[in-house]
Amino acid sequence: MRSKGVLHVDTEVVVPFFDIDTMHVVWHGHYVKYLEVARCALLDHIGHNYTQMLDAGYAWPVIDMQLRYVRGATFGQRINVRASLVEWENRLKINYLITDLITGERLTRAVTVQVAVEIASKEMQLASPRCFTEAVARVLA
């Protein structure tokens, strides 16, 4: 069973024409873009987004990504991308659920995992930096 996470953010995306393929559905690679939009909204909600991560001296590369496509989204469709924070103490793990905004029908599930890398040394951190875990703790309080 997938964890619902400790907090989540919903982001609406209207599928643009340039994201569809010759089959008239969103080309599979564009879903990654939708995940990124939702992940940025979640990080903004936490109060520690990519700009703040860089200012703190850390990059957070995606080291794992999994997507499960159920039904293709189409041009003009209003979709909801829910990003749910699952893990943050040692790595950043986010579950995603993409649904039709009107019907709630499930379209795609996904998971991303990121780790902190100290920019100066280029060393992967075995625990998330305190500045990030404290930001999460403030939101959860």
Q: Tell me the per-residue pLDDT of 108-119, one tens digit each, with 9 for 90 and over.
A: 999 999 999 999
Identify the residue whose tokens are 């959860």: 140
Can you tell me the distance from the alpha carbon of 108 to that of 106, in angstroms, rounded to the nearest whole number? 6
Q: Is the Cβ–Cβ distance between 40 and 96 less than 8 Å?
A: no
What's this model's pTM, rounded to 2 decimal places? 0.94
What average pLDDT does range 74-79 have in this prediction? 98
Beta bridge partners of 64: 113
The CATH fold of domain 7-140:
Thiol Ester Dehydrase; Chain A (3.10.129)
How many degrees, rounded to 5, is the angle at CA 89 between CA 93 and CA 37? 35
